Structure formats: structure tokens, C-alpha cells
Chains A and B, each alone.
Chain A
Amino acid sequence: MCGIVGLLVKRDELRDQLGQLVTPMLDCMGTRGPDSAGLAVFHEPVAESHRRFGLFSPQFGFDWPQFHQRFVRDTGSDGVIRCIDSHATETATIAVNDFKEWLKDTYPNVHLISVGRAIEMYKDEGHPGEIAARFHFSELTGTHAVGHTRMATESAISPAHAHPYTAGEDFCLVHNGSLSNPYSIRRKLERRGIVFETDNDTEAGCRFLEWRMREGDTLEQAIETSFDELDGFFTFLMATDDRMVLVRDAFACKPAVVAETDDYVAVSSEFRSLAHLPNINAANVFEPAPEQIYSWTL
């Protein structure tokens, strides 16, 4: 089944409340996806020279301060680490590939789950409500957030199989549905040197779209191409540093509902998870049509 949620706030004053507003949305969709969950939050981008590296360690009680010291010592980069439980965000001035090399050599068991100037990422196994509490989602601030609650159907339950998936920088995707040709997509991309981290179908969709964008497509063009190339069912909710984009496949058998006011745009699998939002009764509520691309920019 799976649940998807997304919230983009239009007024700067609401940025402080982003986590507070999106957390009940995610928790409510726990009924659609109780086995794992994740949330990507987007902030004002850091300076062009900087990157936020989202990190996950499967090792209980992993020593993030020591990780940070080692990173600064080995690379000579400045950096700030924000860590919570199994996750950390290292914000530093270092080339992305240099960071990846250093991480692979020094901490091969620590996973890089997001890269960008705006994105911050959390995803793990467990009930969405429990994960939201563990990582204090309600305290998160930012411009927009995209989340997912997973009911695994086609690959294992693990933190790496939880959504959102990322590819490239400041791009993430959550998926309700299932793709039936992820392996042919994967083989096509692997021949072009694109590396996969899991056997999950959504990762194939995410990397496909990001590859198209690197080839020069806009996200809209990439999505149009995906209508022909991706076989299966999907409601995709995507985010970049400055927008949130929603699309459903031609059959539209995976739900989505949108509520828009002057203050925010909220997307969810079910209206139920939007009912707590301020002024929801005055919102323009609609169901997105099949194969139509909806995009909201900050």
C-alpha cells in the first residue's frame, strides 16, 4: 500500500512550523505503511561552496562526534555536524566526490543517504510515529518536506529500502505503487555507470529521472519520458531545492489528494492526514488527474 505526504509552506513565518504540521500527516499515514518511514526536509540552501551530507549508520550508538573530528582532520575541511541517533548531517566545504571517496575508505559502513545544499534526510525501519518521535520530526524547520510510510511488497524492509530515495543533489522521490520493469531500467542505467544501492523498484525510478535531468531534460521532460519507460503503478511525489512535484501514472490506481491554501500546499495519499492542517476547510482540495504533472515552486 504505502503512504506519501508532502508539505510546502508559502509564507516564511510558517517555516518554523513545518515539522509540527507535517509530522501528524506522516503519523496518520502509518496505517498505509507501518514498517518503515522517512522524511526529507528542505532548507534555505547553504552557500554554493558548501554541501549537506545526509548520513546513516546501522551501528547502534555510533560515535558521530568522533566521525566528525576524523573528517575534519583527514580532509582539512571545515564542517558542522548535526547528529541524532542513527542519522547525521555533515555540512562542509568539500567536493562531493572527495567526500564519497573519504567515506568509502574511512567509514565503509556509513551510508550517504542525501547530498545537496538544501536537503536533510531521515529514514529508518519502524512505525512512522515512532520514527517521527525518534528523530524529533516535529521540531524540524524548513521550506518543504516530503515523506513516506512504507508497506514493503517487492523488496526487503531495511533503512536503505525506506523512502525517500535520492539521486544526484537536492532531488528526492517517494513512491506509492510498484514498478514492474525496475531491473531493465537498472541494467540500462548501470551500463552508463550509474551505481545502485538497493534492489528496490523506486530507486530505479528515482535514478532514471535524475539521469534524464543530467542529460539535459527538465524534470517535466524526464517525467514525460518516464510515462513510456517506467512500467507499473505510481504516484510519485518529488522535491528539489525549490519545488515539490506530483504525478500519477495513467491508471491512477494509487491515490493522492492535494489541499492548497494561500499558506501551504499539502499532498497526501488520503485526506484524513490533512484534516488537522490550519484552515483546511477553506482549502482548495482536489484529486490530481492521471499523467498530469503538478508542480509548486517556493
Chain B
Amino acid sequence: MARALQLDLAKLSVREVNQFLHDELSASGADRIEILNPDGNHSIAAGLDADVVIDILGHAGYFTAGMNKRASVTIHGNAGWSVAENIMSGVVRVKGFASESAGASGHGGLVIIEGDASSRCGISMKGCDIVVGGSVGHFSAFMAQAGTLVVCGDAGPNLGDSIYEATIYVRGKIHSLGADAQEEELKGTDVEHISHLLAAAEIDGDAREFKRIASARKLYHWNAEAHQEY
């Protein structure tokens, strides 16, 4: 494999790095990029639309690899808020933990958090898949519309609150389910789907140990007689 092209954030601004990745990458011929000294900066490798492998060597800040298309981005450290927010396709992997709202609003592609993800993981997800090796915080998959959230550890309070057609699988303990989220029978197709995602994420686990959470669909229609109790 060709040697990776290195971009050093100790010498370049995030804007310079991102402009290179947006506008000059194809002309450079590089298909593998290493980003050095991320030092918690925000928006690193956001808005990519290229078949490229990117390794961010350290802790990254907010919105890392946001809006990602096609690229495969790995953060060799922790990620700040909203990593891979609005991901369209490709893969974003966090080797450490992810702060709030990981994979928020993601339309497609795969987000892998090897450690824990904190609150609101997968909020409003619209079709992406998220695999979390550790646990997720409160209000994860809040208003999630489509896609799959797989949690190998535990889930915090109000999991799947106001969920639409996304599916959640949790192996560990669930602190509590949010409004209109319910546990359902784990079927063969679920086990296949979980196995497929765990394999894609390269995370070990027995798919049969997971619980399936999905929408009870009671919030779909306003019911004046429910007195806001769901």
C-alpha cells in the first residue's frame, strides 16, 4: 500500500486541511490520509465526498467527519459532540469514546464507536447504522426515523423516546425506555441483521443476546384522550 499523505494540524488550519480534502484530493492521487495533531479541533474531515481512507491520529473535537460521503474515517482517540452527524455513506469509526449526539441525523453509512457513546446517540437518525461497543447515554435514538442502533453495553434513561421506524438492539441493561418505545421479540431476521452489523464493525458478540426495541407506533396519531400520557 502506498504511504499515506500526512496533514499536520499543528501546521495547517482545519479549513486548509478540509479544503484540500474537498478540492485537491483527487488531483493529488492520494487515497490514504493521516491527520496529525487533531488536538480536539472541531469539524476535522467534515463534508467529504471521496473514496479515501482517513486516519485521525488523536482526539478530535465536534462534528468530526460530519456529512461524510463514501470516505472511511477512523479517529484514533475520542470524538467530541456530533461525530459523523448527517453521515450519508461510508464508515466513521471512533476508537475511543464519543461525546453527545454521535451519528445525529445520519442518512446512510456506518458509524462505529468502539468505546461508550454518551447521550442522544443516534438522535433523529434517518437510515444510517450505528454500532456502539460500549454503552450509550440518555435519550439515545430519540426520534430516530430509520436505520439501526446496536449497543453492545447498556443503555441510559429514555432509550428510543418518540422513535419512528428505526430499530435498536441492546445487549446489556436498559435503564428505561422512552415514550412509545417497546421491547419486541427478537426474530431470526434480527439476529442476522445484528450479526451482519457486528461483523462490519469488527466487534465480537453473540447476536442472540440482544434485545430488540422499536416503536409501539402509538404516537403516530394524536390522541386527545391520552392526556399526554403515552
A residues adjacent to B (C-beta < 8 A): 250-253, 255, 257, 270-276, 281, 285-287, 289-290
Contacts and interface: CB of A to CB of B under 8 A. Distances in A.
B61 A272 contact: yes
B119 A271 contact: no
A252 B137 contact: yes
Given A274-B40, A289-B137, A290-B138, A252 B119 contact: yes
Nearest to A257: B99
A225 to B, nearest CB: 21
Interface of B: 39-42, 58-59, 61-62, 78, 80-81, 96-97, 99-100, 118-119, 137-138
A1 to B, nearest CB: 12
A270 B61 contact: yes
Given A252-B137, A271-B78, A287 B40 contact: no
B59 A271 contact: yes
Overall SS of chain A's interface: loop
B81 A281 contact: no
Given A272-B39, A272-B42, A275-B40, A255 B59 contact: no
Given A252-B137, A255-B100, A270-B40, A290 B61 contact: no
Contacts of A274: 40
A106 B99 CA distance: 52
Given A271-B40, A271-B80, A275-B39, 8 more contacts: A252-B118, A255-B100, A271-B39, A271-B59, A271-B61, A272-B39, A287-B97, A290-B119
Contacts of B58: 281
30 contacts: A250-B138, A251-B138, A252-B100, A252-B118, A252-B119, A255-B80, A255-B81, A255-B100, A270-B40, A270-B61, A270-B62, A271-B59, A271-B61, A271-B78, A271-B80, A272-B39, A272-B40, A272-B42, A274-B40, A275-B40, A275-B59, A276-B39, A285-B59, A285-B96, A287-B97, A287-B99, A289-B118, A289-B137, A290-B137, A290-B138
B99 A252 contact: no
Contacts of A271: 39-40, 59, 61, 78, 80
B137 A255 contact: no
Contacts of A287: 97, 99, 118
Nearest to B60: A271
Contacts of B61: 270-272
A105 B81 CA distance: 51
A273 B40 CA distance: 8
For B39, B78, B81, B100, the residue with the greatest tally of chain A CB atoms inside 10 Å of its CB is B39
A286 B97 contact: yes
A295 B62 CA distance: 26
Nearest to B59: A271
B227 to A, nearest CB: 23
A250 B119 CA distance: 11
A270 B59 contact: no
Given A255-B99, A272-B39, A272-B40, A285 B78 contact: yes
Contacts of A250: 138
A286 B134 CA distance: 14
Contacts of B40: 270-275
A121 to B, nearest CB: 28
Nearest to A272: B40
A11 B62 CA distance: 32
A252 B99 CA distance: 11
A270 B138 contact: no
Nearest to B81: A255
A266 to B, nearest CB: 12
Contacts of A285: 59, 78, 96
Contacts of B41: 272
A171 B59 CA distance: 33
A275 B99 CA distance: 17
Contacts of A286: 97
B116 to A, nearest CB: 8
Nearest to A28: B40
A273 B78 CA distance: 15
B80 A270 contact: yes
